[in-house]
Each structure stands twice: as structure tokens, then as C-alpha cells.
Structure 1
Amino acid sequence: MVDPYRPQRRQTRTIHVGDVPLGGDHPVVVQSMTNTDTRDAETTIAQIAALADAGAALVRCAVPDMKASEALRSIREASPVPIIADIHFDHKLALAALEAGVQGLRINPGNIGNEAKVDAVVSAAKAADAAIRIGVNSGSVEKELLAKFGGPTPEAMVESALKHVAMLEKRGFYETKISLKSSSVTHTVAAYRILAERVDYPLHIGVTEAGTLLSGSVKSAVGLGVLLYEGVGDTLRVSLTHDPVAEVGVAWQILRSLGLGERGPEIISCPTCGRTEIDLIPLAEEVEARLRTVDEVFTVAVMGCVVNGPGEAKEADIGIAGGRNKGIIFKKGEVVRTVRGRENLLPAFMEELDAFLAHRRGES
């Protein structure tokens, strides 16, 4: 049955970053950015693998100099997902990144020099079948537009993006996606709303410089949640001052909450109360950590009361509830195992979970 309250996606043209389609009827794509030194290929490759395991379908790498661009070849060859090179100002770095085989660029053509330099980059991107993201941040709006609009307003950001897009269209390039990011949630939402009325390119959405894990997650969930509910957004990044793997997890939770994408188990847990007789918070965090690399979609409950827990979470596929000196493991509200001792509860639960997954996978 189709959920009539599920957000209806805005229709855009479809582009590709490597083998990943963006826009059209394709699912919203989660991406992130490495925070390693790109020149350190081995460390960067390891982080890309971790991001891919967490559910990132695209990964962006900073390219501050030629040594970083040279490292991209081995990074791209080892990466399980397409790589986007983040370029600022120097068109030679863009050319070198494309030569290394990256599948996308994040670059604003108006910032890389004269017409000949723009021609060279666009021609190279066409030859490589690479996509280009026009990325406008509130802090990068051109001085003349700041003067015209009285600051980095949503209207100024949109006009800046359209100016860069026009430079690509003039050269017959349309494998383009656009982002408009501000640290202000309301400015970000307003800018994307305006842009969505002006173009049919896929949009990469995000709140830039959102903050630390808690504040950044909240700002991103509010801003991106509003846009996605309105059907705006074809790919997203949650920008956090934290391990980028956490960005991917938050992004998937945002999509899951709107019915726009599922990956891995959904964990439901009670908020604790005076009846709780077990240290529930670390237990829930341990279960979540153990399940981080599981792709299958199912529901796991972590409850703090052995009396009410199974009933309150009876829709969960598998669950755990702790009480004084014992715990229970249940499936669809039915108790399947009782465990004595707090120290035995998590190991016993993981045994049952492994058996549950093996059964779902047809391995038992």
C-alpha cells in the first residue's frame, strides 16, 4: 500500500556520478567527505571504505595541491564508491583530478580563471563523463552580489549559482548538480525553495558548518527534513564537526524518518523511567554499535523493563529487555530466552541476532 503522506519527490533530470544516478525517480543518495589528508592515500582509502560500509554512495575528497590530485588515482582505483574532487580556484587541480579518474568535481567555474581555463575544465569533464557540482556557500557569494542583495541572502546565493550554471550551459555541459548551503537553517531552506522553482537540475542539499554531533544533527534534521518533505533534494550530506562516518548515519536516519530510504536495522528504545532496573543507555549504545555495519532492514528493540518491554515493542522483529539481575530476549513480543546476569545479556542477544540474520539470509 502506498503511503499517501510520504513526500512526493520533485521531478528533475537525471545525471550520473560514475555509476550512481541522481535525480529523476532515483532514490535520494547519501554522501560524505573525507577529513583525512588526501595526500595520504592509504588513510584516505581506509576512511572511504568505512564511509561506504556506513552507507555513503558518493565520497568527496579535498584537493588542496598537486600532490593531493596525484594521490587520487590510487584512491579512486581502491574506492568502492565514486569519488568527487573538491577544487577551489586552481583549474590545473581540476584537470589533474579528472586525469586521475575521479567521477565528479565540486567546482565553481567562475572562480577558476579566464574563459580558456573554464573551457579546458569543461572539455575534460565531458571527455571523462564526469559530473560537476556547482556549490555555493553563504560565505562564498561574490562581492557584487553581496552588495546587490545586502548580504549572503538566499536570493544572492541562487543568483550566484545560476551564474555558474550558465557558464556550463554555454559550453553544452548539463551533467550538473547544484548546492546552496548556509549555516542558517532558514536561509538554506529558502534558497533551495527558490532554486527548485528555477531549474530542473538535481539538487545536493545540506546545512553547512552545522556544528558538533548534537547541534549539527538537529540543524541538519530540521533543515533537510523540511526540504525533503517538500520533495526537494536528490542527494544530501550532513555536515558535522565529528567523525564523517557519523554523518552518514544521521543522513540515513533523516531519510528513514520520512520514508525516503532504509538501510540497516531501526533501533527503538525506551527513554528510561523510574521503573528501569538496568543501565539501559550503554546497553542501547552497545547494540547500536554492534549493528552499525548490518545492511538488512528490520526492527530491534532495546527496552528497560522485562514486564512491559515485550508488549510495548511487540512489533519489533527482535528485542532485548533488561531487569534486576536478569534480562529477556523476545521476537514479535514473544519471549524466546531468559538470561541471568547483566554481563551475559548482550552476548546472548548477539547469539540470537546472528541466528535471526542467518535465518533471514537463508543460511539456516
Structure 2
Amino acid sequence: MLREKTKEIKIGDVIIGGNHPIAIQSMTNTPTEDVEATVAQILRLEKAGCEIIRCTVPTLEAAAAIKEIKKQIHIPLVADIHFDYRMAIAAIENGADKIRINPGNIGSRDRVQAVVDKAKEYHVPIRVGVNSGSLEKPLIEKYGGVTAEGIVESALDKVKMIEDMGYDNLVVSIKSSDVLMCVKAHELIASQCPYPLHVGITEAGTLYSGNIKSSVGLGIILHEGIGNTIRVSLTGDPVEEIKTAKLVLRTLGLRKGGIEVVSCPTCGRTKINLIELANQVETMVSEYPLDIKVAVMGCVVNGPGEAKEADLGIAGGIGEGLLIKKGEIIKKVPETELLNTLRWELDNWNK
């Protein structure tokens, strides 16, 4: 199914929803109070392609740090709030472009109203976030456990609460570490929620398991036309989250730009260190803003044929390799020069 267009929401200089492209998010893992470390990490994430960044705000000192951080970065900053409504208010006053709250864990209705009033005063959107791990006990009892239906009901209840307070500048997030539950929840909420959806598989895991679970879950959800911003949650360097998010979007045809690397599996014909070479190529091409496909092949038997659909390719031999361009063999070079030969071609691609 294809989801109807959602309401457009402005987060700093980024607009999500409507016909706007899916935005890539990540979250810092530095203490937000440490301005220097947090800025350094955000700048690395910006370079990798992050378009919206979220920072935890557990203290008033962290809220105050937002003002300094914002002066040194170039993408919208979302303040992540848990439990204490005063942090949300302070974060907004210090320049947060959006706040993320779960209205169910910041206290009484009066406290939620205070946050909503401050957001309204500063025209700051609120991301209403509900995770399967924080589902309310009555909903767990109603549905006989943590379910997609319960997650959706919880989120819609929170949305209605804020709407009743006179505010509809909202983004909605429903997450679970259970991939299929997360998919079902998004399918259920898509037809009931007019607001942009932030999509991700929460607590997905390490680079290995997290990438697999996130790719499967995001792939299904996004392919159904659901989702306006995404985050790949990984236990690791946040830059890896951006790399995966970009590849997921490119693979689904939802984003162009960036070099796609294809490489063959190793076999008995492989006479070069293909694994190392492929990894070196993947790292190297991340520097280039080209929208092309690069192939890295292990042998000269099938290499040229397999690389014919790529714009540029290299295929290894015995101590040497071939450079292939648009399916044609251009030249033969020593194995030690393959990487630099490929780099030269990329440097001069548009010349």
C-alpha cells in the first residue's frame, strides 16, 4: 500500500512529511554537557550524511549546552527528554529544533501542558515517542502482552492528548526491537495518523545483528510507503548508522547519490586479496559524491562480464588486475596499483 501524504513539519531548516524526501537521523552518544565532544561527533555525522541529530537532555546543564552546540553545527537538533518535563522546557528555551517526549513518563497532565505551551510559544515540533518497552500496564493487560495494537493505541492516545491541548505540530514514533511487531504497528498506524512518522527498529543490536534487523524492518516499512524520517539504531559508532541508512534508502530507490559498491563472493579462482581490496574500495568511495556503481571482482574469468552493468570496475588476476569501464576492459595493471588506478578514475570521472 502507499500511504497518503502526511502533514508537513518544519524541524529547523529541514521539512519532513508531504512530498519531502525521507530524512536520515542519528543520536549522539557523548555527554551532551560536553559541548566540544558532542559538536565533534555531530560534525562527523554531518559529513557522513546525517540530516537531523538527537541529543539526550537529562540535566539542566545539558539543556544549556544546546545553545552552544547549535552555534557550531549545521543540522537541526532534537532534544531527547525522559521523565523530567523541566528539561523539555529548558531545551526549547535554549534552541532545540524539536523535542522528543513520551507524555506518559513525564508526569501529570499539567506538566505535559506546560511542555506543549512552551513548544507552541517557540513553534517547536514535538515528537511523540512510544516504545514497546514502555507500554502502559493497562494496555498490556488489555491485549494480553506487548502487541502492535497496544503500541498504536498508546501512541494515538498521546497524540490526542496533545491535540486536545491545542497543538498539532507533531511527529510520531512507535518502535520495538521485535521487527515483525514493529512492521505491524506501522501498518496499523499509517491509516490513522496524519503526522510524519519517524521509523526505526529500536535496540536493534550490534553492527552485525543491528544492521540485519534494521534493514529487514526498514525495508518492509519503507517499501509500503510508510515513514518520513529514519534512524538505524546500532550499538556502535553512530556514523555507521548513517552509512546503513543511506544504503537502505538507495537500495529501495528512495534516494540517489553516493557510490554503490558491488563485489563478488570469493572462490577458488580468486588469486588476489579480494576481501581486503573490497573493503578498501568501499571506504575510499565514501569520499565521492558520485551517483555510480563500482564493481570489485575477484578473477578475470567472470569479472569483466559480471562488471558490465557497473559504471566502473576492477577484476583481479594473478598479481595483476583489469580496469573495466562501462563493460569494456580499459587496461591491465599490477595488483598493487589497482586501488590507486580506481581512485584516479573516480577523481577524473566528470572531467
TM-score (norm 1): 0.92
- Runs of 4+ displaced beyond 3 Å: 7-10
Following superposition of structure 1 onto structure 2, how do residues 321-360 of structure 1 map, counting pairs within 5 Å? 321-340=315-334, 342-356=335-349, 360=350
2:6 aligned partner: 12
> In 1, are the aligned partners of 2:211 and 2:234 still within 8 Å (CA)?
yes
Report what 2:215 is aligned to.
Answer: 221
Q: What is residue 224 of structure 2 aligned with on the other side?
A: 230
1:152-163 matches, cutoff 5 A? 152-163=146-157
Secondary structure of the residue aligned to 2:41 is: helix
Deviates more, 1:328-337 or 1:42-51: 328-337
The one-letter amino acid paired with 1:188 is C
Q: CA deviation at 1:181?
A: 0.7
1:94-118: per-residue Cα shift (whole Å, max 9, x none)? 1111111110111022322233322
Deviation per residue, 1:308-338 (Å, 9 max, x gap): 3222111222222221111222211223332
Q: Is the 8 A contact 2:307 2:324 kept in 1?
A: no
Q: Is 1:96 matched with 2:90?
A: yes
* Distance across 2 between alignment mates of 1:79 and 1:9: 33
Q: Give the Å deviation of 1:60.
A: 0.6
Q: CA deviation at 1:8?
A: 4.3
- Of the structure 1 ranges 314-323 and 83-92, higher mean CA displacement relative to structure 2 is found in 314-323
Q: For 1:209-288, list aligned pairs within 5 A.
A: 209-288=203-282
Shift of 1:263: 3.1
Q: Residues of 1 paired with 2:53 and 2:4: CA distance?
A: 24
The AA in structure 1 aligned to 2:270 is T
Paired residues of 1:252 and 1:262 also in contact (CA < 8 A): no
Question: Does the 8 Å contact 1:210/1:239 carry over to 2?
Answer: yes
**Contact 2:258 2:292 (C-alpha < 8 Å) held by counterparts:** yes
CA displacement at 1:39 relative to structure 2: 1.3
SS in 1 for 2:272: coil
Are 1:125 and 2:133 an aligned pair? no
Q: 1:50 pairs with 15, 37, 44, which one?
A: 44
- Asked if structure 2 preserves the Cα contact closer than 8 Å seen for 1:183 and 1:207, the reply is yes
Q: Is the 8 A contact 1:33 1:61 kept in 2?
A: yes
Unaligned segments of structure 1, at least 5 residues: 1-6
CA offset at residue 161 of structure 1? 0.7
Question: Is the Cα contact below 8 Å between 1:55 and 1:263 reproduced in 2?
Answer: no
Q: Secondary structure at the match of 1:210?
A: coil
Equivalent position of 1:87 in the other structure: 81
Secondary structure of the corresponding residue to residue 346 of structure 2: helix
- Kindly report which structure 2 residues correspond to 1:30-179, keeping only aligned pairs within 5 A, or say none: 30-179=24-173
Report the alpha carbon displacement of residue 9 of structure 1 after superposing the two structures with TM. Answer: 4.9
Worse-superposed segment, 151-160 or 141-150: 141-150
Confirm or deny: 8 A CA contact 1:256 1:262 kept in the other structure: yes
Contact 2:3–2:191 (CA under 8 A) maintained in structure 1 = no
Normalised by the length of structure 2, the TM-score is: 0.96
The answer to whether the 8 A contact 2:271-2:316 is kept is yes
* Whole-Å separation in 2 of the counterparts to 1:182 and 1:93: 25
Cα deviation digits, residues 223-268 of structure 1 (max 9, x gap): 1111111111111111111111111111111111211112310111
Contact 2:295 2:310 in 1 (8 A): yes
- How far apart, CA to CA, are the structure 2 residues paired with 1:344 and 1:295? 23
Tell me if the contact between 1:157 and 1:180 (Cα under 8 Å) persists in the aligned partners. Answer: yes
Distance 2:285 2:34 in 1: 29
What is the alpha-carbon distance in structure 2 between the residues aligned to residue 165 and residue 81 of structure 1?
26
Alpha-carbon distance in structure 1 between the residues aligned to 2:193 and 2:9: 14
Q: Measure how far apart 1:352 and its partner are.
A: 2.2
User: Per-residue CA shift, 1:149-177, capped at 9, x if unaligned?
Assistant: 22221111111111111121012211111
Matched residue SS, 2:299: coil
What percent identity do the matched residue pairs reach?
52
* Matching residue within 267, 276, 289 for 1:295: 289
- What amino acid is aligned across from residue 288 of structure 2 in structure 1? V
In 2, Cα distance between the equivalents of 1:43 and 1:256?
A: 30
State the superposition RMSD in angstroms. Answer: 1.5
> What is the aligned length?
351
1-side partners of 2:326 and 2:309: how far apart? 5
Q: What is the letter of the counterpart of residue 343 of structure 2? A: M
Give distance in 2, aligned partners of 1:309 and 1:225. 29
Counterpart of 1:124, as a letter, is: K
